[in-house]
Amino acid sequence: MSDSFLNKRTALVTGGTSGIGLAIASALGAAGARVAINGLGTPEQIDTAISKINKSGAAEARYYDADLRDAIAIEAMLQEVNAWSPVDVLVNCAGVQHTAPIAEMPVERWDALIAINLSAAFHTLRLSLPGMAERGFGRVINIASVHGLVASINKSPYVASKFGLIGLSKVAALEYASAGSRASGGITVNCVCPGWVETPLIEPQIAAKTNDLSIDRDAGIRELLREKQPSGRMSLPEEIAELVVWLCRPAAHNLTGTAIPVDGGWTTQ
Ligand code: NAD
């Protein structure tokens, strides 16, 4: 996947400062794109992310600091990115987790989680799709989760946000299905639905297992996987990124409105 088929294209990756988003931003850079990332992080983390994307071969890499809980900040970010270079590839990857039973879920956590995991994608979509349609090319990849396809206890806002993200993506896919042509590339909107992926997001859940069962980290990971993911293997962020890059290819022009599980068989059961 080292050809530069995204040369002269621009990608915006939310959640691009860490984990899966950083791997996606680097892989899009390796395919030749200009890459804009958004996300939280210390200045050192952001510098490290930008230099990783540049080293991957990106035409250019820039950081945008919008807090995705704030619709006005998202609008300002999209204006700035589009003024730099119109967005051809939009990856909504930012996401947060909070686990608690419904009756104990803090209301402010619910609101923040829905804002970051779902409403932010609505805003980036509504602000990007019309431009993509005018240019006849666009790729939107929303990083949902197996929790957009099946539920688990104690994850009410996360599961609600990811089911919502898949629904939102299907509507967008239909509304833009006829835009562009095979020659221009068309507009596609898809979700990728990972099971367990080795990133900072799942560390609290690993820690909870190791504490509850008084076991070490590796045993905690095995325990998490045993419950749900039949392959017994976590995915790596770079593996999710390869799929995202493939979805950007010209050959994927008719693959739209899907929710693709990468879950070691979790949702097959
Ligand atoms: P991560 O914690 O490494 O990255 C999350 C990203 O979201 C970070 O860049 C963070 O700065 C950003 N973010 C959080 N709050 C923000 C805010 N208010 N404004 C702007 N940015 C904000 O996690 P990850 O595992 O790489 O998760 C990326 C996506 O993948 C998420 O949507 C997550 O739900 C999804 N996912 C992860 C897994 C997994 O096992 N790790 C599984 C399925 C789905």
Q: What CATH number is given for 10-195+235-262 in this structure?
A: 3.40.50.720
What residues pair up with 12 in beta bridges, in sequence order? 36, 90
Q: Is 30's C-beta closer than 6 angstroms to any atom of ligand 1?
A: no
- 89 phi and psi, to 5 degrees? -125, 120
* Among 109, 222, 141, 128, residue whose Cα is nearest residue 179: 128
State pLDDT tens for residues 132-154: 999 999 999 999 999 999 999 99
The average confidence (pLDDT) of the chain is 97
Evaluate: CB of 20 within 6 angstroms of ligand 1.
Answer: yes
2-12: average pLDDT: 94
Instruction: With cut-offs at 50, 70 and 90, classify the pLDDT of residue 102.
Output: very high
Q: What tokens does 153 get?
A: 């206890």
Average pLDDT over residues 16-37: 98
Where does the pLDDT of residue 227 fall: very low under 50, low under 70, confident under 90, or very high at 90 and above? Answer: confident
Q: Once rounded to an integer, what is the mean pLDDT over residues 203-214?
A: 93
CA–centroid distance, residue 121 to ligand 1 (Å): 13
Residue 2: its pLDDT value, please?
Answer: 61
- Residue-wise pLDDT for 151-185, tens only, equals 999 999 999 999 999 999 999 999 999 999 999 99
What's this model's pTM, rounded to 2 decimal places?
Answer: 0.97
**Predicted confidence (pLDDT) at residue 1 exceeds the cutoff of 50:** no
Rounded-to-integer distance, Cα 28 and Cα 54, Å:
11
Mean pLDDT throughout 186-200? 97
Residue 124 has pLDDT above 50, yes or no: yes
In the structure encoding, which two tokens stand for residue 43, read together? 């200045």
Tens of pLDDT along 217-226? Answer: 999 999 989 9
Three-state DSSP at 267 gives: helix
Question: What are the beta bridge partners of residue 163?
Answer: none
User: Regarding predicted confidence, which is higher, 201 or 95?
Assistant: 95
Q: Is 206 in the pocket of ligand 1 (CB under 6 A)?
A: no
Percentage of the chain modeled with pLDDT above 70:
99
Residue 201 CB contacts under 8 Å (≥ 6 apart), including other chains:
19, 95, 96, 97
Nearest CA to ligand 1 atom 20: 39
From 45, 191, 201, the mutation candidate for ligand 1 (largest count of ligand atoms within 8 A of CB) is 201
Domain range summary for the chain, segments of one domain joined by +: 10-195+235-262, 198-234
Structure confidence at residue 261 (pLDDT): 98
CB 28 within 8 A of CB 6: yes
203 has pLDDT over 60: yes
